[in-house]
Chain A
Amino acid sequence: MATFLGINLFGLFGQLLVGLINGSFYALLSLGLAIIFGLLKIINFAQGAMYMLGAFAAWMALNYFGIDYWLALVLVPLAVGAMGILMERVLIRPIAKEDHLYSLLLTFGVALMLQGVFTHVFGSSGMAYAIPEALQGGIKLPFMYLPAYRAWIVVASIVVCGATWWMIEKTRLGAYLRAGTENAQLMQAFGINVPLMVTLTFGFGVALAGFAGVMAAPVYSVSPDMGSNLLIIVFAIVVIGGMGSIGGAILTGLGMGIVEGLTKYFYPEASSTVIFLVMVIVLLLKPAGLFGKEA
């Protein structure tokens, strides 16, 4: 085995790659949160539950309707996005003018309910979802065996995150969105249907969580509490990155996955806490976050 300064390089590379894979999920989830926050100034506490919903939807689609993974990858985000739209219209819209902390509490309640319903119906042992045939097997790298599906997670996540970034930062549609967040009344005066835009954006942000859920189904056990613990980590990532930029959310998500991977190699006992520790350090040095714009 290759070693450098007493470090087992193969082992280290393996952990870094695994970190990148986890970072892909962090990036997808924090991107969805960032988009929703950017437009509505609310933190969607139900984002983790929507991720769970995406995984369960994929499982139900396969087992009840025979819809395979690839089709689910398209349909489930749409369905979860539709749930998000419903939630925005029915629950969040009526309290849009209240303090934003109320919407945080509201979405927290929704998350509890969703988790409770799925626990009640499916139990909490978790459901198995097989890896699609085309992505079974793996690639023998010099330092590790990389399962094909894990490679696919990284690729798909980077493509989706990149496309979203491009759409928001570089297209006309994105310009409307950004302008709508700056000054909704002015955009309304220009004939842009801002409430519709808000609803659709919320739906899109939630759909990203649904997408991440489908991606996660074959590798993590599909269980009702899969989203809640992940969400708290994503919150810490959001604080680290700051909510200022879409690109910041993506980069911080990937970066924190890698930091976690390094910790698992050098000091595994701290792997569950390292992201929170990074958050503490960032708060001390740069309270607005690495990419945060606000003072």
Chain B
Amino acid sequence: MKAMNKTLLAVAVAATTALGGLAQAGAVSDDKVKIGVLADMGGVYADICGSGCVTAIEMAVEDFGGTVLGMPIEVISADDQLKPDVGSAKVRQWVENEQVDAVGGLVSSAVVGAATKVLTDNKKIALISTAASNAFTTSACSPYNVHWTYNVAAMANGTVKPIVQSGKKKWFFITADYAFGHALEGVATQVVEENGGEVVGGVRAPLGTTDFSSYVLQAQSSGADVVALANAGGDTVNALKTAAEFGLTQTADVAGLLVFTPNAQAMDPATAGGMTLTTGFYWDYDDATRAWSKRFKERHGAIPAMGHAGAYSMTMHYLKAIEAAGTDESDAVMSKMKEMKPDDFFARNATLRADGRLVHDMYYVQIKKPDERRDADDIFKVVDVIPGDKAYAPMLPECNFVKS
């Protein structure tokens, strides 16, 4: 076994050096720029990124002209099935075997956590558009992570602060009982307390709970002013529906801490109307967002969620950085991305920080009531624009990868 291992090692070393030699030959490795799109294509998060993210990234490549530095840009995609093991295995295969330069999409925080570890080990860039966790630019930060659209902290800051400041001080949390829910609750609790509010109770509901009525009853008997839903997707939709049914919405405000456009569309306008939330993008904000969203809808069949717009915007920025750097080598591209100022219909007043966090304007919106809606796509009213530095937490010194 030992002797064999040595031979194997020799073969492997030879193979790696050969590949390494190839990579050094041109400014663009393998004579093309290859972007992988990893997303949940058929599960609960399929609507918030999924095939829409593939479409958005393809649109960016087309709008860029299809080539960069004279070399073609290729987009491939895969379904992570919401499984960290499937996702990280796919990414490993892409970077080890299929010459992928950067991976976009990236939805579920669990999958992204696993995928970014593989990418960082291989010095490839993660273009994170839809994942929620703060970790990718804090505790698990990496010089190769770019986190574009939003994060948990921005959601909590954006949604919680205005409600507490309006005088609704007593909060109750219905929290999804897993890491993401706990993180969301933690950040939101902090914001509540910093602004003079108090948390009067909370309950942890298992992921994918079908019946929220007992949690709603507990929220009701707590006497809270605001019931915050620290969950996502179908759980939020279900919890809100039950809250309305049991009359909770008449005695307290319900705040969804993470609501995507497709989730908001799935909610009954009569009960969801009036609820406030934070989003990184709204398609009907101004002419620029409408123009892009119209093109997106023509191709995808639905209005873009924030992750879709984010995926387009960051792919554009990535390609521009390759052009400016004159190479697709990850370190050079990353420093160009952080040096150049992103500015498009999505990224407003934006800077890409040294830790890879895009700090940009966020939108505090209210779900429209039935009589306020023109059609099924007319779901939000933009109440306020939150400047990026008010929404996002400051950079941690240990995650500053551009030290001068």
Contact = CB atoms under 8 A, between A and B. Distances in A.
Contact of A120 (B42, B211, B221, B263): B42
B234 interface: yes
A125 B208 contact: no
Interface stretch (B130-138, B236-244, B339-347, B390-398): B236-244
Given A22-B211, A126-B266, A220-B211, A272 B206 contact: yes
A131 interface: yes
A130 B268 contact: yes
A56 to B, nearest CB: 14
A265 B266 CA distance: 30
Nearest to B235: A221
Contacts of B44: 124-125, 225
Nearest to B206: A272
A130 B238 CA distance: 13
B324 interface: no
B203 A124 contact: no
Nearest to A147: B245
Contacts of A127: 266
Interface string A233-261: 00000000000000000000000000001
B221 A119 contact: no
A51 B267 CA distance: 22
Interface stretch (A10-18, A66-74, A203-211): A10-18
Interface string B220-246: 110000000000011001100110011
Contacts of A229: 208, 210
A131 B244 CA distance: 11
Contacts of A11: 217-218, 221
* Size range of the chain B interface in the assembly: 20 to 34
Interface in B13-61: 42-44, 46-47
A8 interface: yes
A268 B204 contact: yes
B96 to A, nearest CB: 30
A159 interface: no
B195 interface: no
A275 B252 CA distance: 32
Nearest to A225: B208
A144 interface: yes
Contacts of A268: 203-204, 218
Contacts of B46: 119, 123-124
Nearest to A11: B221
B234 A219 contact: no
Contacts of A1: 221
Contacts of A124: 42-44, 46-47, 234
B345 to A, nearest CB: 25
Interface in B231-276: 233-234, 237-238, 241-242, 245-247, 262-263, 266-268
B246 to A, nearest CB: 6
A131 B242 CA distance: 11
B190 interface: no
Contacts of B366: none
B208 A221 contact: no
Interface string A15-28: 10011011000000
Contacts of B267: 128
B204 A138 contact: no
Contact of B245 (A8, A131, A271): A131
Interface in A185-231: 219-221, 223, 225-226, 229-230
A138 B247 contact: yes
B214 interface: yes
A125 B47 contact: yes
A270 to B, nearest CB: 10
Contacts of A123: 46-47, 262
Which 8 A-B residue pairings sit nearest by Cβ, starting from the closest? A272-B206, A264-B214, A14-B217, A18-B213, A145-B247, A124-B44, A18-B214, A221-B238
Given A125-B47, A125-B233, 7 more contacts: A11-B218, A123-B47, A125-B234, A126-B266, A219-B241, A229-B208, A264-B214
11 contacts: A119-B46, A124-B46, A125-B233, A125-B262, A144-B217, A147-B247, A150-B213, A219-B245, A221-B234, A221-B238, A265-B214
